[in-house]
Amino acid sequence: MNTRMADHVREALEQMIITGEFADGERLDEIRLAERFNVSRTPLREAFQVLAASGLVELLPRRGAFVRHPAFHEMIEMFEVMAEMEAFCGRLAARRVTPEVLAEIRATVIACEAAVEAGDTDGYYRENERFHHLIYTASGNEFLAGEAQRLHRRLQPFRRMQLRVRGRMAQSLTEHRQILDALEAGDSVTAEAVLRDHVAVQGSKFNDLIASYKQSNLRAKPQPVAMRG
């Protein structure tokens, strides 16, 4: 357990930002937040530094901390990178995955099947997270796994939007099974290709994403180019 207030505050703010509690460009008021979390400004400002490092807020010197939601094109860019990272994980995993991790992956696919049959979206979401996390681990490259997990986390809210689309869960499951098969067969080419398509935003997924992005409160407000970094 971590006893540092700064860490606690960082986690809380991170969650608040990711769940869209602040509008894009909104200033994080040190004094109000300090009161709200019952801490002084010192740990709060330490939290700001970390949030800025992960890109969730932008620190303008002598102006303050401003929350920064990705513009639509930035989100597309992030998904493009995510797809490639997962594809790479899959390629490595097909060669390196251990029997233990493979067994765990198999278990999540079975759990996903159950969730789809039960129409349990939350359950599916949870198992889906576990599936992807395991793919990262299976790559046998801890650094890669860490980076993939970091980006995955960043995209969490947008992925959640996506899963709500009708029929998306069933299609996702089919792909999970294909990936599992490829890993079991040691087929790195298929594992890579299916994972890339699984994550990439293309075809009808693109239009679905536009729709959910517009509805969400994680939109970036359109701004003159000059104001953006």
Can you give the binding site for DNA, defined by CB under 7 A? 3-6, 27, 29-31, 38-43, 45-46, 59, 61-65
How far is the C-alpha of 41 from the C-alpha of 31, rounded, in Å? 7
DSSP state at residue 58: E
- The residue within the footprint of its own copies, chosen from 2, 38, 167, 222 (CB under 8 A), is 2
Decide whether 109 or 199 has the Cβ nearer to its own copies: 199
Decide whether 24 or 86 has the Cβ nearer to DNA: 24
Residue 61 as a binder of its own copies (CB under 8 A): the answer is yes
Q: How far is CA 55 from CA 58, 69, 74, in A?
A: 7, 9, 12
Q: In what order do the strands lie in the sheet with 57-60?
A: 27-28, 64-67, 57-60
35, interface contact from its own copies, DNA, none, CB < 5-8 Å by kind: none
- Residue 177 structure tokens: 């099974």
Which residue bears the tokens 């992956």?
Answer: 105
What residues numbered 84-143 form the site for its own copies, per CB under 8 A? 84, 88, 141-143
How far is the C-alpha of 152 from the C-alpha of 144, rounded, in Å? 12
How many DSSP H helices and E strands does the chain contain? 10, 3
Decide whether 16 or 81 has the Cβ nearer to its own copies: 81
Tell the smallest beta-carbon distance from residue 59 to DNA (Å). 7
Decide whether 39 or 165 has the Cβ nearer to its own copies: 39
Tell the smallest beta-carbon distance from residue 227 to DNA (Å). 12
Residue 58 as a binder of its own copies (CB under 8 A): the answer is no
- The residue within the footprint of its own copies, chosen from 14, 30, 46, 175 (CB under 8 A), is 46
- Angle at Cα 173 formed by Cα 171 and Cα 175, nearest 5°? 75
Decide whether 45 or 219 has the Cβ nearer to DNA: 45
How far is the C-alpha of 135 from the C-alpha of 145, rounded, in Å? 8
Which residue bears the tokens 């700001």?
Answer: 48
Residue 77 as a binder of its own copies (CB under 8 A): the answer is yes
How far is the C-alpha of 89 from the C-alpha of 103, rounded, in Å? 17
Decide whether 139 or 190 has the Cβ nearer to its own copies: 139
Cα Rg of the chain, angstroms: 19
Q: Under the rule (CB under 8 A), what is the footprint of its own copies?
A: 2-4, 6-7, 42, 45-46, 49-50, 52-54, 61-62, 74, 77-78, 80-81, 84, 88, 141-144, 147
